[in-house]
């Protein structure tokens, strides 16, 4: 568990996928806050995880897709994916996103 406060400038970025950069900011057993920088034309393939995910677009534009639908999310928009819901994204513009996972993702610690 990280201690308060955590500034994003003090956390190293990890290239999770080509053009997808993640900073795991702070977490406990129940929640995790992550900051993402997403390069235009990068992709997050369709995937799922047991953790619930809620996000907020700080800047940019993403085309999200699930098994059943697609939707556009841009600056100021928020979104949610339920536990085990398959989802992915195409990054349409250079973007900055905050995601919260519940419970915390072991693979992002």
Domain ranges (residues) in the chain? 25-108
Q: In what order do the strands lie in the sheet with 70-74?
A: 43-47, 87-91, 61-66, 70-74
39, 33 in Cβ contact below 8 A?
no
Q: Would you say residue 1 has pLDDT above 70?
A: no
Residues whose CB falls within 8 Å of the CB of residue 68, separated by 6 or more in sequence, listed in order: none
CATH of region 25-108: 2.60.120.10
Average pLDDT over residues 14-40: 97
Q: What is the pLDDT of residue 7?
A: 93
pTM reported for the whole predicted model: 0.94
The band of 3, judged by pLDDT with boundaries at 50, 70 and 90, is confident
Burial readout 50-85 (b: 16 or more C-beta within 10 A, e: otherwise): ebbbebebeebbbebbeeeeeeebeeeeebebeeee
Task: Extract the tokens encoding 79.
Answer: 């979104």
């Amino acid at each position: 568990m990280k201690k308060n406060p955590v500034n994003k400038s003090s956390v190293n970025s990890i290239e999770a996928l080509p053009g997808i950069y993640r900073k795991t900011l702070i977490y406990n057993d129940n929640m995790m806050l992550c900051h993402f920088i997403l390069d235009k034309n990068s992709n997050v393939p369709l995937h799922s995880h047991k953790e619930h995910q809620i996000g907020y677009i700080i800047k940019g534009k993403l085309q999200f897709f699930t098994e059943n639908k697609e939707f556009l999310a841009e600056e100021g928009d928020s979104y949610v994916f339920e536990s085990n819901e398959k989802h992915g994204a195409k990054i349409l513009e250079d973007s900055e996103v905050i995601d919260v996972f519940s419970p915390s993702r072991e693979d992002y610690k």
